[in-house]
A = this chain, B = another copy of it.
Amino acid sequence: MNSELCRKLGIEFPLFAFSHCRDVVAAVSRAGGMGVFGAVLYTPEQLRTELEWIDANCDGKPYGVDLIVPTSLQRQDAEPSDEQLLGALPGEHLDFVEDVLARSGVPADDLAERRKAMLHISHNLNNAGADEMLDVAFSFPIKLIANALGTPPQIMLDRAREAGVPVAALVGSKKHAERQVAAGVDILVAAGGEAGGHCGEVSTMVLVPEVVSVAGDTPVLAAGGIVTGRQMAAAMAMGAAGAWCGSVWLTTAEGEPGQKIKEKMLAASSSDTVRSRSRTGKTSRQLRSTWTDAWEAGGPEPLQMPFQSLISEPALGKIEKLAEGGHEGAADLATYWVGQGVGLMNQMSSAAAVVQEFKQDYIDAAERLMATLEG
- Contact: B209 with A194, CB < 8 Å? no
A230 proximity list for chain B (CB < 8 A): 209, 237-239
- Contact: A373 with B366, CB < 8 Å? yes
- Contact: A344 with B210, CB < 8 Å? yes
Q: Of all chain B residues, which has the CB nearest A275?
A: B201
- Contact: B210 with A270, CB < 8 Å? yes
- Contact: A202 with B372, CB < 8 Å? no
A363 proximity list for chain B (CB < 8 A): 373
- Contact: B231 with A368, CB < 8 Å? no
A239 proximity list for chain B (CB < 8 A): 230, 365, 368
CB of A173 within 8 Å of the partner chain? yes
- Contact: A231 with B225, CB < 8 Å? no
CA distance A208 to B363 in the complex (A): 18
A224 proximity list for chain B (CB < 8 A): 203, 205
A228 proximity list for chain B (CB < 8 A): 209
How big is the A interface, by class? Answer: 35 or more
How many copies of this kind of chain does the complex include?
2
CB of A44 within 8 Å of the partner chain? no
Q: Of all chain B residues, which has the CB nearest A274?
A: B201
CA distance A3 to B340 in the complex (A): 30
Write the nearest CB–CB distance from A278 to chain B, whole angstroms. 18
- Contact: A203 with B210, CB < 8 Å? no
A202 proximity list for chain B (CB < 8 A): 194, 270-271, 340, 343
CA distance A228 to B209 in the complex (A): 9
CB of A69 within 8 Å of the partner chain? no
Q: Of all chain B residues, which has the CB nearest A14?
A: B372
Q: Of all chain B residues, which has the CB nearest A371?
A: B2
Q: Of all chain B residues, which has the CB nearest A363?
A: B373
A2-B372, A203-B204, A340-B203 known; A173 vs B231 contact (CB < 8 Å): no
CA distance A365 to B234 in the complex (A): 9
Q: Give residues of chain A (325-372) contacting chain B, Cβ–Cβ below 8 Å.
A: 339-341, 343-344, 363, 365-372
A2-B374, A237-B368 known; A231 vs B205 contact (CB < 8 Å): yes
A173-B271, A175-B269 known; A341 vs B206 contact (CB < 8 Å): yes
CB of A168 within 8 Å of the partner chain? no
- Contact: B174 with A269, CB < 8 Å? yes
Q: List 11 A-B contacts (CB under 8 A).
A: A2-B375, A174-B343, A200-B271, A201-B271, A203-B205, A205-B224, A205-B226, A234-B237, A236-B372, A369-B369, A369-B370
Closest 7 CB pairs of A and B: A234-B234, A194-B203, A205-B225, A237-B365, A206-B225, A203-B203, A2-B375
